[in-house]
Structure 1
Amino acid sequence: MVVREEARPGTGSAVPDVFRAAVASMHAAVLRPEIFCEEMPAPQRIAPYASALSADVTVDTGANEPADLGTGRLILLHDPEGNEAWGGGTFRCVLYTRAEVEVDLISDPMLGEVGWSWLTEALESHEADYLAASGSVTRVATESFGGMAEEAATAQVEIRASWTPRADENGYVDVRPHVEAWAELMCTAVGLPPVPEGVAVIPSRRGQRGPA
Structure 2
Amino acid sequence: MVVRHEASPGPGAVPAEFRDAVASLRSATLRPEVFCEEMPAPQRIAPYAAALSADVTVDDTDVGTGRIILLHDPAGNDAWEGTFRCVAYVRCDIELDLVADPLLAQVGWTWLTEALDAHGADYVAESGTVTRVATESFGGMVEDAGSAQIEIRASWTPAATGGAGGLAPLDVTPHVEAWGELLCTAAGLEPVPEGVAVMPSRRGQRGTAG
* TM-score, scaled to structure 2: 0.92
Count of aligned positions: 202
**Structure 1 unmatched ranges of 5 or more:** 61-65
User: Which residue pairs with 1:156 in the alignment?
Assistant: 149
Q: In structure 2, what is the equivalent of residue 98 of structure 1?
A: 91
**For residues 80-95 of structure 1, what are the structure 2 equivalents within 5 Å?**
80-87=74-81, 89-95=82-88
> 2:52 aligns to what?
53
- The equivalent residue for 2:128 is 135
Q: Does residue 77 in structure 1 map to residue 74 in structure 2?
A: no
Q: In structure 1, give the amino acid aligned to 2:55.
A: D
Q: Is the 8 A contact 2:32 2:204 kept in 1?
A: no
Inter-partner Cα distance in structure 2 for 1:170 and 1:20: 16
What code does the residue aligned with 1:74 have?
A: I
For residues 177 and 205 of structure 2, what CA distance do their matches in structure 1 show?
16
Q: Which residue of 1 aligns with 2:23?
A: 24
Aligned to 2:193: 196
| 1:39 maps onto 2:41 in alignment | no
What is the CA distance between 1:9 and its match in structure 2? 1.6
Deviation at 1:170, TM superposition (A): 3.4
Question: How many Å separate the matches in 1 of 2:206 and 2:174?
Answer: 22
Distance 2:8 2:183 in 1: 34
Structure 2: gaps (5+ residues): none
* SS, match of residue 140 in structure 2: helix
Percent of matched pairs sharing the same residue:
67
2: CA distance between counterparts of 1:202 and 1:82? 37
Contact 1:72 1:98 in 2 (8 A): yes
Alpha carbons 2:2, 2:40 under 8 Å: kept: no
| 1:153-209 CA-partner distances (Å, limit 9, x unpaired) | 000000000000002343621010000000000100011000011111112424658
Give the counterpart letter for 1:83 in structure 2: N
Q: Deviations over 1:120-166 (max 9, x none)?
A: 00000000000000000000000011111111000000000000000
More displaced stretch, 194-203 vs 101-110: 194-203
Q: Deviations over 1:52-95 (max 9, x none)?
A: 000000011xxxxx1000000000000000000101x1000000
SS at match of 2:68: strand
Secondary structure of the structure 1 residue equivalent to 2:22 = helix
Amino acid at match of 1:58: T
Q: TM-score, normalised by structure 1?
A: 0.91
Residue identity opposite 1:140 in structure 2: V
> How big is the alpha-carbon RMSD for the aligned residues of Structure 1 and Structure 2?
1.7
* Counterparts of 1:123 and 1:156, CA distance in 2: 22
The one-letter code of the counterpart of 1:109 is P
